[in-house]
Amino acid sequence: MPTTDPHARVPREALFRFYAELNDFLPEPRRQRDLSYHFYGTPSVKDTIEAIGVPHTEVDVILVDGESVDFSHRLAGGERIAVYPVFERYDVSPVTRLRPAPLRVTRFVADVHLGTLARNLRLLGFDTVWERDLPDEAIIDIAVRDRRIILTRDMGILKNGRVTHGYWLRATDPSKQLEEVIAALDLAGSIDAYTRCMECNGLLQPVSRMDAARSVPLQVFLVYREFKRCKCCGRTYWRGSHLRRLDRVVERARTSGPRRPPDESPTRRGYRARG
C-alpha cells in the first residue's frame, strides 16, 4: 500500500559503471557491468562513489548522462554515471579531470604494512617515509605537509577528504607491489638506484676508503674500494655479495610495463564536457 506521509523519504536510483582498474575495488560479481545504486536525498557523486567502495583518489573523470562533472555534483535519481581512472595515454582535454595535478617531485609515505615496499622504493632512489607504528592520521598529516603520495592496502585512508594523492596496492607480494607502483605511476624512467639509505631514507654520499675503515669489518675493508655513507643515520654501504639480489630488484623495476589502459575512453565515445 503506497504511503501518504508527505514527510516520507523518497527512494531514488542511479546507474553506475566503473571502468578499468576501478573495478579492482568492487566485488567480483559487480565488476565490468552496470550497477544500480539506491539512495535517499541528493548526495554528492563523490560520496556515492565512495559508498560503493571506490576511493576518490583513484577517480579522474566522472560523466553524468554524458556530461563531465566534478565531485560536488548532486544526484537526483535516474542518472547514468560513468566513472573513469586516470587516463595516462588518452587525450581527455575536453572533460573535467578531477585528480590534482601530479606532484612535481615524486615522494611517498607508506602505511605500516608496507615496510618491504618502502625499503625497495628507497633502493630505487624514491623518497619514502615509513615507520612501523604510524597511525593513519599521522600518515595523512605527513602526506599533506610534505606533498607525498600515500601508498596503502587500506582503502579507508584514501577516502579521507584531506587526501589528494594516493594509491591502493592490489598486490600483496612485496616484489609485485614494487613493480605495480612503478608501472601504475610510470616511474621506470625516474629510478636512481643506490642513492638512498634503505633503512632510514637518508641520502647516500661517497666516502673515502680510509674514512669507511672505522665503520666496516676488516675483511670488507680489505676487499672493497668504494663506499657510501648515509647522511642521516651514518650507515656505510658497499657493493657486497648481496648486490646481485638487489640488482635483480632494480632490473625488474626498470622493465615494469605500464598499467593496463582503460577499456573505454570518454573522448572516443564523444561525451560532452561541461564548461
Q: Write b or e for each residue in 140-172: b if 16 or more Cβ atoms lie within 10 A of its Cβ, otherwise e.
A: bebbbeeebbbbbbbbebbbbeebbbbbbbeee
Which pLDDT band, with edges at 50, 70 and 90, does 261 fall under? very low
**Structural domain contains residue 146:** yes
Crossing angle for the helix pair 174-184 and 115-123, to the nearest 10 degrees:
60
Residue 6 pLDDT: 59
Please report which residue ranges of the chain form alpha helices under DSSP H.
Answer: 45-52, 115-123, 136-146, 155-158, 174-184, 209-212, 218-223, 243-254
> Domain check: are 142 and 169 in the same one?
yes
Residue 240 pLDDT: 79
Residue 80: which CATH number?
3.10.20.30
Which pLDDT band, with edges at 50, 70 and 90, does 164 fall under? confident
> Domain check: are 209 and 166 in the same one?
no
Choose among 100, 65, 51, 59: nearest CA to 83: 59
**Structural domain contains residue 4:** no
> Domain check: are 163 and 212 in the same one?
no
**Structural domain contains residue 269:** no
* Domain coverage including residue 66: 11-99
> Domain check: are 77 and 132 in the same one?
no
Residue 186 pLDDT: 86
What are the pLDDT digits (tens) for 6-24?
Answer: 566 889 999 999 998 899 9
**Structural domain contains residue 266:** no
Query: Number of structural domains, the chain?
Result: 3
- What does pTM read for this prediction? 0.74
